């Protein structure tokens, strides 16, 4: 299929209407519920985000909030849509009304300019009250106060209140959301291409109501950016035998799983969850899956890292990289057991950092805690194991 490409337009060649470098028409063949799921995947939605002054359910291509303690990690130059630095009162103040000496430096964050102070508790408000000349954050457009963030809006003021009720003290919420959760950021183009990948995977789920010919526009767009590579997707675990699959457990994804509510009854490691959260969660069986975890140190919501995966697999994986079995085999680090006669029996491959082990049949072992014993404790444990193995 030929693309327009005039002024970067990715609509079909000979299209009607204006040019568009990010045409959602590419997945226009999807049913409404599938389009909604694609749209949701393009939103930043941190849980409990309101109490951190985060803006929820908005496109990932928005201004981000960078916590002061993360300044050394965050790739500030990559936030094309801007950023603002969040300070807690005890980070900014030495005493009531007295900033810490660090903030006198010319390049230090300045509340009201590139930063804001977030009050989360009544104790913080009482201990470090805002100086008399400070104002609650607000928004204006062309000098006129507005209630919702929009293009060209200007933030004014130095602080925001997100204080929960405590005792006789009522809850206080003042100041608009300041930005999105930084690890969920993606610029408009990366966000669009990630949606293209997810739309293609949607059409290739088991028993989907779509046919391959309907994805030609998506494939042309992805090919234009050098991203259409089903063979690579097979190696990564996004696709198996031509169907979408979960990158962690490698099971094929059924179309209905994109919309059916999650159940825990068949998960041996989550048996209690079936009683605790059944009918109390709106999560679907299959959700957005990142091959590389979202962190403050880099921007990882990119088309090369997204897939559909089981919500339970997402939970089990946590903040870890999903290592494809093809990569582990290529690395060649086998793991196995040693019996009492010293015979080694290998059963899988491990990542170089020993964070994940995979068997050829699809079983997965994930390291759930880090080594944290002191040298003395490790020595004692080794001694104990040697005694145990000796039968004493």
Q: What pLDDT was estimated at residue 275?
A: 44
pLDDT of residue 391: 46
Q: Mean pLDDT across the stretch 275-283?
A: 54
Residue 92: predicted pLDDT: 98
Note whether residue 11 is domain-resident: no
CA dist., res. 310 & res. 359, Å (int):
19
351 and 377 assigned to the same domain: yes
How many independent structural domains does the chain possess?
Answer: 3
The 10 Å Cβ neighbour count of residue 146 is 14
Domain end marker among 133, 158, 184: 184
Same domain, 392 and 352: yes
Structural domain that includes position 372: 323-392
**Nearest CA among 176, 147, 172, 148 for reference residue 161:** 172
Could you tell me the pLDDT band of residue 49, with boundaries at 50, 70 and 90?
A: confident
* The predicted structure's pLDDT at residue 273: 44
Q: Choose one of 317, 346, 380: the last residue of a domain.
A: 317
2 domain-assigned: no
Residues 169 and 253 in one domain: no
- Within 88-167, strands assigned E span 93-95, 98-99, 115-119, 138-141, 144-146, 154-156, 159-163
* Burial class of residue 359 in the structure, from the number of CB atoms within 10 Å of its CB (0-12 exposed, 13-18 middle, 19+ buried): middle
pLDDT at 321: 95
pLDDT in tens, 140-154: 998 898 888 877 889
Q: Is 155 helix (H, G, I), strand (E, B) or coil?
A: strand
- Whether the per-residue pLDDT at 283 is higher than 50: the answer is yes
Q: Phi and psi dihedrals of 55, rounded to 5?
A: -100, 120
CA 7 to chain centroid: 31
Closest by CA to 166, choosing from 122, 210, 196, is 122
Binning pLDDT at 50, 70 and 90, where does residue 31 land?
very high
Domain identity same for 107 and 164: yes
- Per-residue pLDDT band for 371 (boundaries 50, 70, 90) equals confident
- The helix (run of H) or strand (run of E) holding residue 65 is strand 64-67
Dihedral sign for Cα 320, 325, 331, 333, please: positive
pLDDT at residue 377, as a whole number:
66
In this structure, is residue 15 part of a structural domain? no
Same domain, 199 and 305: yes
Domain stop point among 161, 184, 207: 184
User: Which are the contacts of 287, defined by CB distance < 8 A and separation ≥ 6?
Assistant: 308, 309, 310, 311, 314
Determine the average pLDDT of the residues in 365-386. Answer: 71
If pLDDT is split at 50, 70 and 90, which confidence band does 385 have?
low
**Residue closest to 333 by CA, chosen among 316, 352, 359, 318:** 352
**What is the average pLDDT value for the chain, to the nearest integer?**
90
Which pLDDT does position 166 carry in this prediction?
87
Per-residue tokens: 156: 């004014």
Answer yes or no: do 36 and 114 share one domain: no
328 and 364 inside one domain: yes
204 belongs to a structural domain: yes
The reply to whether 6 falls in a domain is no
Domain annotation covers residue 122: yes
- One domain for residues 260 and 174: no
In this structure, are strands 180-181 and 64-67 parallel, antiparallel, or unpaired? parallel
**pLDDT, tens only, 292-321:** 999 999 999 999 999 999 999 999 998 899
**379, part of any domain:** yes
Closest CA to 103 of 118, 87, 84: 87
State the Cα–Cα distance between residues 25 and 224, nearest whole angstrom. Answer: 16
Whether residue 142 is found in the same domain as residue 220: no
For residues 140 and 163, state if they share a domain.
yes
Tens digits of residue pLDDT in 194-228: 999 999 999 999 999 999 999 999 999 999 999 99
Residue 347 sits in the same domain as residue 311: no
Q: Looking at the domain assignment, is residue 174 inside a domain?
A: yes
Assess whether pLDDT exceeds 60 at residue 107. Answer: yes
Neighbouring residues of 248: CB distance < 8 A, sequence distance ≥ 6 = 237, 289, 309, 310, 313, 314, 316, 317, 322, 364
296 and 351 inside one domain: no
């Amino acid at each position: 299929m030929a693309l327009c490409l005039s002024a970067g337009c990715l609509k079909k060649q000979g299209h009607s209407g204006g040019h568009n470098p990010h045409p959602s028409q590419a997945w226009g063949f999807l049913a409404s519920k599938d389009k909604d799921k694609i749209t949701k995947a393009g939103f930043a939605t941190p849980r409990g985000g309101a109490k951190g002054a985060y803006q929820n359910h908005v496109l990932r291509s928005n201004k981000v909030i960078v916590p002061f303690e993360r300044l050394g990690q965050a790739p500030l130059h990559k936030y094309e849509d801007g950023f603002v630095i969040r300070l807690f009162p005890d980070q900014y103040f030495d005493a009531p009304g007295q900033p810490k000496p660090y903030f006198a430096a010319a390049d230090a964050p300045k509340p009201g300019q590139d930063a804001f102070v977030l009050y989360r508790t009544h104790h913080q408000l009482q201990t470090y009250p805002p100086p008399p000349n400070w104002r609650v954050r607000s928004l204006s457009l062309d000098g006129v106060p507005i209630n919702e963030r929009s293009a060209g809006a200007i933030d004014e003021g130095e602080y925001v209140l997100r204080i929960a009720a405590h005792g006789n003290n009522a809850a206080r919420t003042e100041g608009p959301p300041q930005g999105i959760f930084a690890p969920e950021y993606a610029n408009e183009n990366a966000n669009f291409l990630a949606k293209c990948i997810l739309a293609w995977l949607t059409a290739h789920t088991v028993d989907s109501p779509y046919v391959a010919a309907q994805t030609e526009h998506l494939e042309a767009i992805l090919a234009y950016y050098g991203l259409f590579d089903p063979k690579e997707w097979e190696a990564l675990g996004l696709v198996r035998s031509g169907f979408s699959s979960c990158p962690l457990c490698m099971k094929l994804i059924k179309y209905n799983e994109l919309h059916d509510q999650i159940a825990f009854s068949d998960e041996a490691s989550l048996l209690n969850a079936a009683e605790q959260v059944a009918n109390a969660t709106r999560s679907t069986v299959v959700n957005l899956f990142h091959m590389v975890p979202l962190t403050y140190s880099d921007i990882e919501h990119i088309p090369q890292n997204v897939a559909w995966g089981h919500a339970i697999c997402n939970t089990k994986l946590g903040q870890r990289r999903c290592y494809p079995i093809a990569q582990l085999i290529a690395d060649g680090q086998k793991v196995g057991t040693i019996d009492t006669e010293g015979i080694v029996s290998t059963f899988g491959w491990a990542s170089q950092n020993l964070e994940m082990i995979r068997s050829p049949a699809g079983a997965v072992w994930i390291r759930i805690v880090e080594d944290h014993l002191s040298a003395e404790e490790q020595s004692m444990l080794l001694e104990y194991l040697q005694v145990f193995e000796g039968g004493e």
